[in-house]
A and B are shown apart, each in its own frame.
Chain A
Amino acid sequence: AQSVTQPDIHITVSEGASLELRCNYSYGATPYLFWYVQSPGQGLQLLLKYFSGDTLVQGIKGFEAEFKRSQSSFNLRKPSVHWSDAAEYFCAVGIISNFGNEKLTFGTGTRLTIIP
């Protein structure tokens, strides 16, 4: 069965420092991979997605992620974080249903705290 693992429950980073959030997946076929961000009490906003092609994916708000098939990973990175990046980050894998569309299986999330 498909699964997504986010090993870090909580990460604290200084403002201006670089960031890497880890994500590992388990899926039998070529995965569709996503990163979503959720601010407290808010909905899920898509940061970026990987379907195929270039394994380095650029997203919104200066985020990028790299798909590494050999490591079954899709880590999220940002070179310099801002205080507004403090939020919960979810990695997800898209599973194709019988109708050809997909549903998302999420990891447990990583809470990012930014310190001045």
Chain B
Amino acid sequence: AAGVIQSPRHLIKEKRETATLKCYPIPRHDTVYWYQQGPGQDPQFLISFYEKMQSDKGSIPDRFSAQQFSDYHSELNMSSLELGDSALYFCASSTGASGNTIYFGEGSWLTVV
């Protein structure tokens, strides 16, 4: 079965650079979530989209932005990168209805040097 696809899987950027992560949800899933997991930490909710509209916002820095496109894929844009942004970024998707399972991708490793 198709899963949540994230790209790139690994990314190395320098401080103050910009990075873009892409997420392709499971087909027919209309809700996308972004989570950030720092080293040794639990995943922290950043932002979610339902039917291309932002549905919820968590601890996402102002330097980050995200959107969901007409084909339901989503992109997380991170600017002015800081060393502390180094983390595993998960995308997840679901059908949006309450109670449905949220499926996670394999994650994108971002290292800021």
The interface of chain A, by Cβ under 8 A from chain B, is: 32, 34, 36, 41-46, 49, 51, 90, 94, 96-109
Q: Which residue of A lies closest to B54 (CB)?
A: A99
Given contacts A90-B42, A97-B48, A107-B42, contact A43 B55 (CB under 8 A): no
Given A43-B106, A96-B98, A99-B55, 14 other A-B contacts at CB below 8 A? A46-B102, A97-B48, A99-B53, A99-B96, A101-B94, A101-B96, A101-B97, A102-B102, A103-B45, A104-B33, A104-B102, A105-B45, A106-B43, A108-B41
Question: Contact string, B2-43, partner A, CB cutoff 8 A, digits 1/0?
Answer: 000000000000000000000000000001010100000111
Given contacts A42-B106, A43-B104, A44-B90, contact A101 B42 (CB under 8 A): no
Is B104 in contact with A101, judged by CB distance below 8 angstroms?
no
- Secondary structure type dominating chain B contacts: strand
